Amino acid sequence: MNKLNQLFENKKNNILSIYYTAGYPSLNDTTKIAMQLQKSGVDMIEIGFPFSDPVADGPVIQKSSKQALDNGMNLKLLFDQLAEVKDLTIPRILMGYINPVLSFGVGEFVQKCAEVGVDGVIIPDLPLEEYAANFQPLFEKYGLHNILLVSPETPDERIKEIAKLSSSFIYLVSSNAITGSSLQTNAVSEYFNRVKSLVGDTPLITGFGIRDRKTFQEVCAYTNGAIIGTAFIDAITGKDNLDSAIDDFVKGII
C-alpha cells in the first residue's frame, strides 16, 4: 500500500511534514536529511527538486534552490539518491515545477517515482484540467498520488472538483503570499472551516507560514497537519552538524 494511504489511515491529526530542497546544503545531503527526519519523528517529507524560476517561493527557498542547482542537482541525480533510501518507512513526496518534469519526460518521471518509492508529487503549476485529461491515468497506473492545492482565492465549486480528483490529501495554502510569509491564524480560520465543509473526508495539510510549535498547533486545530519548509531550511543552513540541527528543530515542533 502507498505509504500516504497508510499514514492517513493511522493518524488523523498533528501530522508534521517537513520540506527541504534536494541537493542543499550540499549535493549529497538529500538522503542524509531524509534519514534523520525519519529518525527525529516527522510523519512525512517533501523533497523539492530545484528550478531556476521558483515563482511561488520566498527568498530562503529560492536561495536553497539556486545553491542546489549550482551544486549540480537535477532530477536524474535525485532519483539515483532516492534509490539509496528506498526502504524509508515514512511517505516521500516530491515537490517542484512542471518544466523540469516535462524536460525529463512525464512518463519516465512517474515511472521513476514508483521505482524509488515516491508516494506522491506536488506540482503547483500543473493545471487541474491538464492533469485530469492527460496525466491522471498515468499517475493511477503507477500508484502515485498527485497532491492538489487550494488557496484562499479558490472558488467553492473548484474546491469540490479538487476534492473529487484528490486521492490523498489536499495541500491547503494558508495565504496568497509566497512561502516563508507570516501566518495570521485568526484571519484564516473562516477560510479553513469553509474548505473543510467542502471537501468531506479528504485530509487537509496546511502550508505557508508555519514556522514553530505555536503556528503548527494553531493550524492543526483546524486541519490534519502542517508543512514546514522555510523555517527548516533556515535551521539547517550553515550548520556543521546536520543531524543535530535537524533533531533540535523537529523536537521544537512536536
**What digits encode the pLDDT tens for the residues 66-115?**
999 999 999 999 999 999 998 899 999 999 999 999 999 999 999 999 99
CA distances from 141 to 1, 98, 124, 145 (A): 14, 20, 21, 10
CA distances from 76 to 66, 105, 134, 179 (A): 17, 11, 23, 26
Enter the pTM of the model: 0.94
Domain ranges of the chain: 13-251
What pLDDT digit, counting tens, does each position of 151-191 carry?
A: 999 999 999 999 999 999 999 999 865 454 555 556 678 99
- Which one has a higher pLDDT value, 53 or 61? 61
Predicted confidence band of residue 243 (pLDDT cuts 50, 70, 90)? very high
Q: What is residue 15's three-state secondary structure?
A: strand
CATH topology of domain 13-251: TIM Barrel (3.20.20)
Q: What is the pLDDT of residue 180?
A: 46
Q: What is the pLDDT of residue 242?
A: 97
Task: Tell me the catalytic residues.
Answer: 46, 57
Q: What is the pLDDT of residue 67?
A: 97
* 140 phi and psi angles, rounded to 5 deg: -65, -35
Q: What is the pLDDT of residue 52?
A: 86
Q: What is the pLDDT of residue 178?
A: 47
Mean pLDDT of 120-133: 95
